[in-house]
């Protein structure tokens, strides 16, 4: 499994122009939110949490077609299917690499961006922590849906169909970020962690099943 992870990381690092793109997209999208509040600072601080969640969601959403569609197009996926390593493990590693390569760079700049949105500095740490624990589910759900849409790889279709599946994570994420409760094992936070764990567990199996359905 470590070997696959290493391999996938190398592939992403060497070919991955989408990392830089996702990073810039995140910053530009945040800038759009900031500009659209027209310098009204009370409006801006109310918008901050929504803006950061939506920008993160959009940058994951728009890079989803890089996870598996290109492997399908080039025929690599068939070799992965017949190799000795279970396809579920490969898919898990692929998703993990996608999450690390897209989200971790964003989380590094998020504190800086949030400060420009007038959010107090002790709140910033909490928001970043919640983003760190909440966003894996976005990548894992995206993996499921991109495996479902292998038959029609239009990126607009993928994006449109994935959005409804993001509702639970987005709702819980913003609710937890806005919550004033600082005890990080309170019920709403536990729900968020549960949501992440649930999607991480089901995603590789459902994705593998979807791929097999596509080849049958």
- Residue with Cβ nearer another protein (125 or 161): 161
Binding interface with another protein (CB under 8 A) = 144, 148-149, 151-152, 154, 157, 160-161, 163-165, 167-168, 171-172, 175, 188, 191, 195, 206, 209-210, 213-214, 216
Q: How far is the CB of 156 from another protein (least distance, A)?
A: 10
User: Which residue, 4 or 170, is less far from another protein as judged by CB?
Assistant: 170
> Based on CB atoms, which residue is closest to another protein, 16 or 136?
136
On whether the CB atoms of residues 59 and 102 are closer than 8 A, the answer is yes
Nearest-approach distance from CB 165 to another protein, in angstroms: 5
CB of 163 to another protein, least distance (A): 7
In whole angstroms, how close is the CB of 189 to another protein at the nearest point?
A: 13
Distance in angstroms (rounded) separating the CA atoms of residues 215 and 213? 6
> In whole angstroms, what is the distance from residue 118 CA to residue 127 CA?
13
Q: Which of 186, 206, 182 is nearest to 194 (CA)?
A: 186
Q: Among positive and negative, which fits the CA dihedral 103, 105, 110, 111? A: positive
Which is nearer to another protein, 119 or 150 (by Cβ)? 150
Report whether 107 contacts 124 (CB < 8 A): no
SS3 56: helix
């Amino acid at each position: 499994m470590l070997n696959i992870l290493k391999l996938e990381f190398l592939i992403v690092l060497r070919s991955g122009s989408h990392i830089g793109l996702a990073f810039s997209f995140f910053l530009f999208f945040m800038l759009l939110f900031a500009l659209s509040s027209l310098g009204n600072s009370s409006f801006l601080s109310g918008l901050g949490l929504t803006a950061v969640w939506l920008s993160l969601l959009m940058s994951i959403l728009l890079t989803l077609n890089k996870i598996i569609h290109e492997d399908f197009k080039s025929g690599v996926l068939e070799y992965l299917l017949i190799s000795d390593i279970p396809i579920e493990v490969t898919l898990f590693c692929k998703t993990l690499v996608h999450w690390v390569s897209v989200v971790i760079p964003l989380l590094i700049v998020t504190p800086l961006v949030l400060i420009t949105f007038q959010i107090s500095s002790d709140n910033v740490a909490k928001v970043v922590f919640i983003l760190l624990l909440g966003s894996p589910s976005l990548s894992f759900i995206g993996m499921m849906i991109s495996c479902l849409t292998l038959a029609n790889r239009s990126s607009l279709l993928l994006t449109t169909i994935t959005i409804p599946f993001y509702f639970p994570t987005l709702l819980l994420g913003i609710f937890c970020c806005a919550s004033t409760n600082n005890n990080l094992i309170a019920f709403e936070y536990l729900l968020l962690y549960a949501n992440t764990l649930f999607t991480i567990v089901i995603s590789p199996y459902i994705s593998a099943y979807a791929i097999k359905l596509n080849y049958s």
